[in-house]
Amino acid sequence: MTESVHGVQAEGIDTDDVTIAYIGGGSREWAPKLFRDLALSDLSGEVRLHDIDHESAERNAEFGNWVQNRDEVQADWEYEAVADRDEALAGADVVILSTQYNPAETFVHDLDIPKDHGIYGAVAATIGPGGIFRAMRTIPVYREFAASIREQCPDAWVFNFTNPVHFVTRALYDEYPDINAVGFCHEVLWTRHHLTKIVEEELGEEAERSDISVNVKGINHFTWIEEARYKGRDLWPLLEDLVDTDRANREFTPEDLEDDSPFTDKQQVTWELFRRFGVLPAAGDRHIVEYATSFLVGGKEGLNRWGVKRTTSDYRAKHWNPAESDQTTNVEAWMDGDREFELYHSNEIFDDMVAALGGEDTMVANVNMPNEGQVTDIEDGAVVETNAVIREGEIKPTTAGGFPRPVRSMINGHVDTIEAIIEASRTGDVDEAFAGFLLDQQVRTLQTEEAHEMFAELVAAEEEYLQDWDLEGSSVLAEADAYDG
């Protein structure tokens, strides 16, 4: 891998005294993971938790300080809930962005309304009609965040964990071009983990994720690799041999998947795309199908045939409530002693990245940043995901090359959708957003009249969360029977 000319640079971080501003600090899942990772890190400092749900931020602050009292803790951290956003950001070294609106009022509509129009999406979180509406809800708020960062901590390192990562990270840079921001996602980490399983099962050798290196490129949740190595050994011939084996040629029925979690990854979409195009997708199949949309044809049976199970709106609604979800962390149950607490590292790498920025080490990680030449086949400025070298005071993407024509065509179609929505968000122009909506590769399976109706239904269902858009001035909405705003 050759380093790109560009990147972001700022002052290094004092790893013994890091000030982290966590916007979305009432998080039900990611924040508790972070607190455990920080407790086991070589870092120390303070974490200011800000959330519009201040009570949730206070609960998490209590939990963070509770974690610090465990015997196994290695680091010294102090957690505080801060009601004022600017106060939380003032002078911060690092900013974490991790937010989500109540899925019962938003996400369920992203899933159910497109399904009523024949679009049987698997996740509806980062692209497709549901992903676009999640972006429309989120982008205006992140423009505000970027403006506040510009005023309160302009040189801070900003880590965006909020989906849709490519839309949101693009919005941060669109509002504040000099921001030191990266979008981060663990899908590539899981791809490296899956490759370790192949090494263990096919080569009979014990492997760890750190033994695997890949050249990653694309857009978030639609990343690809054309090079994979295990301790320097080329894995590509092994992968090419596996394409014709049973491992890469399985089929499933809805009954086969009945007891599976929607997060179970059978990797059959990954193998099929590798078979057809010669490059390997580097994200979970449940995300890939939202971008390679032919896998959505045939509804439930068509999706399940590839081992992919739809995440239901009922699951998303319950996921918001820790008492009803096995995945969402219930910190109160830990603190009250109703559930056993274990202190272990999540295998995320945020703490490693902060340590590297402080000069503790140099590392390579996949990040989402504006394209400045690291991917040759995608327009400059669009947010792309590649590897980057992270070291003291610097995050520098590596050049990753381009794609076979069919892959390039699919990716650039999604980039056009993303850029169209970003452009529309500058003025809140709903009609421009609808034009971008029509570009989406899932939406394009519908006649324009039905796409128009679906768009208006989504606006009507989520109107409370779209107040930064000019709904009253939209001719598209005025023409729609489904919208009575």
Q: Is the pLDDT confidence value at 122 over 70?
A: yes
Q: Does 165 reside within a domain?
A: no
Asked if residue 36 has pLDDT above 90, the reply is yes
The total number of structural domains that make up the chain: 1
The answer as to whether 330 is a domain residue is yes
pLDDT at 322: 57
Whether 406 is covered by a domain: the verdict is yes
Which token pair is 447? 């006649």
The Cα–Cα gap between 212 and 364 comes to 12
Q: CA 395 to CA 224: how far, in whole Å? A: 21
The domain containing residue 260 runs over which residues?
A: 102-126+185-474
Residue 186: active-site member: yes
Give the CA radius of gyration of the chain: 22
Q: 36: which 2 tokens? A: 């455990």
- The stretch 172-201 carries a mean pLDDT of 95
DSSP bridge partners of 303: none
Could you please report the per-residue DSSP string of 372-424?
Answer: SSSBTTS-TTSEEEEEEEEETTEEEEEE-B---HHHHHHHHHHHHHHHHHHHH
- Cα distance between residue 242 and residue 224, in whole Å: 18
Tell whether 27 is covered by a domain.
no
* Helix (H) / strand (E) containing 108: helix 107-116
Q: Residue 65: inside a domain, yes or no?
A: no
- Within 37-100, strands assigned E span 45-50, 77-81, 94-97
- As beta bridge partners, residue 399 has 2
Q: CATH code at 238?
A: 3.90.1820.10
**Residue 338 binned pLDDT confidence (cut-offs 50, 70, 90):** confident
Q: How many CB atoms lie within 10 A of CB 155?
A: 14
What b/e string do you get for 332-368 counting C-beta neighbours within 10 Å, with b at 16 or more?
A: eebeeeeeeeeeeeeebbbbbbbbbbbebeebebbbb
Tokens of 160: 């965006």
β-pairing verdict for 94-97 and 77-81: unpaired
**Is position 83 within any domain?**
no
Residue ranges of E strands in 231-349:
233-234, 280-281
Provide, rounded to the nearest whole percent, the portion of the chain with pLDDT above 70. Answer: 94
Residues paired with 50 in a beta bridge: 23
Question: For the residues 384-392, what does the mean pLDDT come to?
Answer: 96
Residue 310 and residue 122 in contact, taking contact as beta carbons nearer than 8 Å: yes
Res 346 pLDDT > 70:
yes
Model confidence over 68-108: pLDDT tens digits? 999 889 999 999 999 999 999 999 999 999 998 888 889 99
- Residues of 223-244 as b/e, b for ≥16 C-beta within 10 angstroms? bbbbbbebeeeebeebbeebee
Q: Please identify which of the residues 186, 193, 287, 414 carries the catalytic annotation.
A: 186
| Residue 271: inside a domain | yes
pLDDT digits (tens, 9 = 90+) for 398-425: 999 999 999 999 999 999 999 999 999 9
pLDDT of residue 1: 46
